[in-house]
Amino acid sequence: MPRRITAFSNPLVKSARSLREKKGRRLERRFLAEGLRILTEAREAGRLPETIFFAADSAAHPLVTTLVDAVEAAGGEAIETDRDILHKLSGKDNPQAVVGVFAEFDTALEAIDRSAAPIWLVAERLRDPGNLGTILRTGDAVGAGGLILIDDCADPFGVEAVRASMGALFTQRLAQARWEEFLPWLRAGPGLLAGLALDGSEDFRAPRFTAPTFILVGNEAQGLPPAYAAACDVRVRIPMLGKADSLNAAVATAVMAYEVLGQLNPGAA
């Protein structure tokens, strides 16, 4: 049975509120996700929050009821509250009806099964959480296995990245590693590394991609370091016919991912 909390000073509210900051997430090893769509995606992917806060005026909504029942059946806690508390948790003027507190995932590179999917996305020093979330959505759209974050990237469990992923954070595998860890891991098994670079030697449609293909995109401002680009099996460019010299990192990843999908599974793209 959900309990009702409306006090800002309640320890559960204060603990959940702290997860909006990276320091709080590191300390608690938990993160926030908000909204019926995202939490429903999480439930359907087999991931439930440890605690769910929901607005009293949305308690009768069938999706809210399903989420609350699932959380309580799994041993989690459901908290009925008001929109003021949800505003404090989410930081949004018009807060969602539900906010969940999730345990962070295992992001060890060794937990990735490269044979599980024909496409994997790899981002190096990606700094914008919106780009990170959008790349996760792209991975979900093309049936990728997940996203591997290289070196110092934006926090995938930050509120902005989780929002931008629109639930794909829960459908995609996620790993974090340094380059010096990633490259030996990649070379220990099958996998073609395709890097996106402004000075790529080939048009992105020219190579014949094989599964699994790892699509590597670099930092938004600087692109791939020369040593990283040199380690790729193929280094490709996306033609730019206008005055812009490059596409947004997330857009470029999507263009490349659909080309690889079209080659590996022509009927799907």
- Pick from 98, 89, 94: which is nearest to 70 by CA? 98
Average pLDDT, the chain: 94
Last residue of one domain, picked from the residues 75, 103, 131: 103
Give how many domains the chain has, as a whole number.
Answer: 2
Q: What is the pLDDT of residues 100-150, one digit of tens each?
A: 999 999 999 999 999 999 999 999 999 999 999 999 999 999 999 999 999
> Are 14 and 75 members of one domain?
yes
Cis check for the bond before 190: say yes or no (omega within 30 of 0): no
Query: CATH number, domain at 191?
Result: 3.40.1280.10
**Residue 188 belongs to some domain of the structure:** yes
User: Do 126 and 155 contact (CB within 8 A), yes or no?
Assistant: no
> Are 146 and 34 members of one domain?
no
SS3 192: strand
Q: Is the pLDDT of residue 268 over 80?
A: no
pLDDT of residue 91: 79
Place 269 in a pLDDT band, splitting at 50, 70 and 90: low
> Are 14 and 76 members of one domain?
yes
Range of the domain at 44: 3-103
What is the percent of the chain where pLDDT is above 90?
82
**Residue 96 belongs to some domain of the structure:** yes
pLDDT of residue 54: 94
pLDDT of residue 266: 83
DSSP H helical segments within the chain, as ranges? 11-18, 22-28, 36-44, 62-73, 83-90, 129-142, 159-165, 179-187, 226-230, 249-264
> Are 96 and 184 members of one domain?
no
User: What's this model's pTM, rounded to 2 decimal places?
Assistant: 0.93
pLDDT of residue 218: 95
> Cα 17–49–32 angle (5° rounding)?
30
For tokens 């709080």, the residue is 24
Q: What is the pLDDT of residues 237-247, one digit of tens each?
A: 998 888 777 77
> Are 115 and 19 members of one domain?
no
